[in-house]
Every structure is written in structure tokens, then in C-alpha cells.
Amino acid sequence: MYKLISSKILELHSKQAPAIGIGLFRILYGLITLQEIIFLLYFNHLIFDPIPYIDVEFPMIPFFLCLWGVIAAFIVVGYRYQFAITCNYIIWIIFVNFTPMQRDFDGGFDLFMIGAGFFLLFMPGDRAFSIDHLRHKLSTPFTHYSAYPKPTVSTLAYILPVAICLGFLYFDSAIHKMFAEHWRNGLGTWLPATQPYYVSAIDMSYLLNNTFLQNILGYTILVFQFTFIFFFTQRQLRTVYLLVGLGLHLGITLSFNIYPFGLGMLAFYALLVPFKWWRCIGRLVTAKQPSLTVFYDQLCPLCNRTVLILNHFDIFSCIDFKSAQEHAAHYPALAAINNETLLTDLYALDRTNRIYSGVDTYAQIFIKMRYLFPIGIILSLPGIHQFALKKYRSIADTRNRIPCTSACLLPQALPDTTLYHQFFEGVATQKPHAFSRKLSKILLALIVFQLNSSIHYGLIYRLNVDNPRNPISQASNAILMASQTFLGITPHALYLHDHFTGYDHILALTYTDQNGAEHWLPFVNEQGRLLAPNWGRVHSMWANIAVTPNIDNKRLHKFIMKVTAFWGIDCGLNLENVVFNIKLKKINAPSYWIHDQLHKNFASPWTTIGTAKWTDNQISFDLPDNINQL
């Protein structure tokens, strides 16, 4: 097996692929991280305060979240990539392990994002759609952009993250699913989609009421997850796995209120798109002929840098930049303009031979780039045009037009300091066999870490033969703790029978004001759905920790306290002037198909089982000792 992996690594490493997919994956990962940071800022007091707004234990949390947001923005635009992705990886680990995020507000994808972040440390995420790629060009400004080849990367950069982050996850999840009756009955997607706590605002009942369709979906997912790791690299099957996976996770994103998990998984499918698709897409979106030809001073450092910047953002290749010294004489439309005047501005010709100069050239460049046309329109507006013209003249008329020396024409290019370049291009090129052997050992270690998790929790734990005092079991737990913390390897036993068995009641919160009128908190509504934005990790807190088949009153009191304090104060209530009512609704979570089960659960009536009251920033409860028996 070791020799097989080593030879396969050498084979894949020798193949080059477009960098577009990895650049898009980096952008999607950064955007998902950024939206989660915004979510954490919004629910800052609910998640991090011991008592929301009343007992603030971490007052600097918003500041550090904002710093994290800046780092995530760097990842999105690809600026200082290696620094940004390293900081992001460390911050994920710190927030997950040293705040209540993982203990009480597990969003279901924190560890997944840590695992993805780990692989991004070694991926060439700066090769496409990045500011770093532009900075590399700007370091040699007198090299025309056409001299730079389209960036390519090793196929390994695509295959390894998908195999480990998706393939291992799917296979582990499929093992756990085989122990769940509703999955064996082909109802793996149906059951959670009939539970009010888990569904989004989109009513999917017309799909849920088709038992044949639900069986097809359920069994297809099982086959898909069991086989993905073995066949996704096959050229004939890659498109099949891409389309099925996109459908699966798009369905999760739209159907359930755990959208961050669905989005995180969807991002990985940018790496699964066949390479020839990127080339075909490039040919389809690229302009067949330039819409605008721009002439610039070839000896002007500022002009050359401007051209490189504009070309970098001309993703549809709509603009052709030419040296005024070399090419202007070949265009009759420019014959009336003497050379000295031509070099003082950026001149441009469109397809109708209409001439533009200065600010008008920039406006036309943005308009012809298509996606930046609003900027071009704004530049043309009265007032803004005059202001831009004044600024443009102050820069253009004072720029340095002294001819460059040889040292100026050939400056030192920025060194590539990414880990990908050091290991996958540096070491791998110099010592390919040593590189493949070392990488094979690392992959074997990752396989062992995943097998430890899958066998321990997917088989031994589920077969009830685990002995916590066994030295082997203790060693296994220690390995799992390390691999979970730094690699995101964890059991993927989501929404199985041990979660839904006995899940026959849900809770909601209302409040009665001083006039005796009852109102619903903007948390759980009359149907039993968790309202936006209480999704993701807030949903997990309430639906997976506070309210379970066997409710623990201590935990329930803690989260009722958090929710009433947060939403009560957020709604402008005086906590001491209202009484919070705890309501219970009976639902059904069967492992066999029942027609219109979602609406039956929606229609089940609520009963008030207790109250909660705030006095002097302390909450007291009037609740039955054993809610599970109600």
C-alpha cells in the first residue's frame, strides 16, 4: 500500500491543472468564514457572555472577531495569503477550544473548517483571483502581462483535500448511518426534514410526501458516501459525483437551518470540477476580440503598473493594452495626435475607432470590463467627472517620465514564500522520490487517524464493546483528541437514531407583559420552527443540547436563561416586568414514512408547562422536575 500511494503521488504531482478551482475555493472558504464571523458578532452576547448583556466575561471578543474578519477578508481577496491563512487556522482552533463555541454552540462545521484551513496552509491559493498574484506582477512592472503564463498547479493540490476532507468524512458518516433504522429504511433525508426545529423557512412537504423519491434520495446518499473515496478521481465518474454532491449539499443548505455546514461542503466542490470545464468556461466567458485598445507609455513606471493592475481585473479579456511607442503608428485614427501628446495620457480606441483619453479612457475601461461598468458610469457623471479629471491631471502631469535604466527595467521579482512552493515545487522538484515517500508517510498517518475515529466510534462504540478503562481505548481517545483539535477529524454521526429516538417533544418561549398579553419571542415560532437568524450554531444549542430526547433540567435552565436575557433585552423588554412562559409541543419522529408528517408536527398544539422570572438579574424557574414524562 505504501508503494502504491508513493507511485500515485508521483503520477499526480507530475500532472498540471489550472489554478482557477483552487482560487475559487479560497474565495468561497473566506466568504463562509466571513459570514460566520458576522454571525458571531451578532450573537456575541448570547454565545460568549455567561449571562447575556448582564455578565460580560469577554469584553474584547468583538475586537478579536473584527481582527479575524480582516484576516478573512485578506483570504477572500488573496492578500498576504500565507500569513492570512495561517492566522485564520490558529484563530479557528483558539475560538473553538477556549470559548463556549464548541461546548455549547457547536455549529456542526467548526472542525470541518479547521480541517479545510489546515489543507489551505499547503495549497497554492494565491495563484488565481488574488492580490498576491498581482503583487508578483507589479514587482517586475516592465514585463508585459502577456509574458506571464496562465498559472498552473499540481493535481495533488486538488485531489488530496477532496480525498481527506470529503472522502474520509463521507465514509465515516456512512458507517454511522448503517446503524440508524431510518437510514436503512431509505428515510435518512426524510426524518430530519419533518422535524420543526430542523427545517428552514422553505416548505419542502411536496417532496417529503413522495415516499418513492425519499427512498431514492436516501439510498443514493448511502451509495454516494460509501463509494466517493474510491471512485471520485475516475474521469468517467467525476462528473457524476460532482453533480450528486452539489445536489446533496445544496439541498441541505436550502432545506435545513444548518446552512453554514451545507455551504462549507459546497465550497469543496470547486475542487471537483473537471479541469477541462475550467478551460471551456474560460473560452466561453473570454471576449473573442477586445472591445477597447488602450495605448500607454512603455517607459513610464506608473503607466506599466497601471496596465498590470487593470489587466489583472480584466477577467473577461475585454481590453488590449499596447505600447504607444511601438503600436500607435499602425492605427490611422491616432495619426493626428503627435507622439509627445500621445504619451502624456492613456489613449484608447473602441471598435468604431472612437478616441478616448484620460479619465474618459478609464471610464471606458471599466464599462468594457462588464462587471465593473457601474464604476465607469459613475466616473462619467457630471461633478464626479470634473473632480476625477482634476485628480488625474495632477498625477499625470507630475509623473516621472525619465527613461529607465537596465536596473529599473529588470527589478527583483517577489519571492514565493508559500508552503506550497517550498514543499510541492521546491523539494518535490529537487528530490521527487524523497518527496513522495515523505508525503506517503503523512497520508498514511492521516488514514490511521481517520480509521481510529471511524472504528472507535463507528463500530466499537455502536456495538457496545467499548471499555473506557482499557489502555487501548484511552490511547485511541488521546489520538482522537489531537487529530480532532488540529485536523478536524471527528465522528460524523449526524441526525441518527440516537438523536431522534424519543424526540417526541419540543419547547418554545413566550412572554406575558404587564397588560397580560402573551407574545412569542423571536426565537421559536408557533409552528415550532427556529426563526432566522437563530440558525447554525444557535439552532444547535437549542435543538441538540437544551432540548433532547432526555432533557436535563440543569442544561435547560442555563439555555432558557441565555435566550430570555438575550432576546428579551434585544427586543427592548424590561426583564423584571415580564414573565416568560415555557411551552411544550408533542411531535413525532418515526423511522417509517408517514404522509404529511411535517405539517402534522407543525399543527400539534402547545401547552404551557412552566414559567421563568427575572429578579435582580437572577432568573428563577417554575418547571416540573421531569419534563421527559410530560
pLDDT in tens, 162-198: 999 999 999 999 998 988 899 999 999 999 999 999 9
Confidence class for position 407, pLDDT limits 50, 70, 90: low
Percent of the chain with pLDDT over 90: 67
Helix (H) / strand (E) containing 98: helix 81-98
Contacts of residue 48, defined as CB under 8 A and 6 or more positions apart, other chains included, come to: 57, 58, 61, 99, 100
Confidence class for position 228, pLDDT limits 50, 70, 90: very high
Angle between helices 20-42 and 110-120 (to 10 degrees): 140
Q: Which segment of 57-61, 366-370, 521-525 scores lowest on mean pLDDT?
A: 57-61
> Would you tell me how many other CB atoms lie within 10 Å of the CB of residue 492?
24
Residues in the chain, how many? Answer: 630
What mean pLDDT do residues 117-129 have?
Answer: 95
pLDDT for 479: 87
What mean pLDDT do residues 206-211 have?
Answer: 94
Confidence class for position 405, pLDDT limits 50, 70, 90: low
pLDDT for 402: 56
**Greater pLDDT, 427 or 80:** 80
Task: Output phi, psi for 586, to 5 deg.
Answer: -80, 130
Q: Which segment of 220-229, 277-286, 591-600 scores lowest on mean pLDDT?
A: 277-286
Report CA 465 to chain centroid distance, whole Å: 38
- β-partners of residue 201 are none
**Rounded Cα distance, 19 and 153, in Å:** 6
Confidence class for position 468, pLDDT limits 50, 70, 90: low
Distances (CA, A) of 582 to 2, 243, 561, 569: 59, 44, 12, 18
Q: Which segment of 54-58, 211-215, 229-233, 368-372 scores lowest on mean pLDDT?
A: 54-58
pLDDT tens column, 543-579: 999 999 989 999 999 999 999 999 999 999 999 999 9
**Rounded Cα distance, 123 and 135, in Å:** 18
pLDDT for 251: 93
Q: Does 85 score more than 90 pLDDT?
A: yes
Report CA 95 to chain centroid distance, whole Å: 17
**Rounded Cα distance, 513 and 628, in Å:** 28
What mean pLDDT do residues 27-43 have?
Answer: 97
What mean pLDDT do residues 23-38 have?
Answer: 97
DSSP 8-state assignment for residue 296:
E
- β-partners of residue 613 are 579, 620
Find out whether 536 and 260 touch, Cβ atoms under 8 Å: yes
pLDDT for 520: 96
**Strand locations in 326-418 (E):** 347-350, 355-357
Q: Does 414 score more than 90 pLDDT?
A: no
**Rounded Cα distance, 62 and 59, in Å:** 7
Confidence class for position 335, pLDDT limits 50, 70, 90: confident
Find out whether 411 and 140 touch, Cβ atoms under 8 Å: yes
Confidence class for position 403, pLDDT limits 50, 70, 90: low
**Strand locations in 366-515 (E):** 505-512
**Rounded Cα distance, 272 and 237, in Å:** 11
DSSP 8-state assignment for residue 192:
G
**Rounded Cα distance, 377 and 374, in Å:** 5
**Greater pLDDT, 477 or 39:** 39
What mean pLDDT do residues 611-622 have?
Answer: 95
pLDDT for 224: 97
**Rounded Cα distance, 145 and 315, in Å:** 13
Question: What CATH number belongs to 287-409?
Answer: 3.40.30
Distances (CA, A) of 70 to 29, 47, 88, 109, 561: 14, 21, 10, 21, 33
Cis peptide bond prior to 533, omega within 30° of 0: yes
pLDDT for 404: 60
Task: Output phi, psi for 607, to 5 deg.
Answer: -130, 145
Q: Which segment of 402-406, 428-432, 621-625 scores lowest on mean pLDDT?
A: 402-406
What mean pLDDT do residues 265-290 have?
Answer: 92
pLDDT for 329: 83
Q: Which segment of 19-28, 128-137, 408-417, 473-482 scores lowest on mean pLDDT?
A: 408-417
Percent of the chain with pLDDT over 70: 96
**Rounded Cα distance, 629 and 57, in Å:** 36
- Ramachandran category for residue 383: left, alpha or beta (phi over 0 → left; psi -120 to 50 → alpha): left
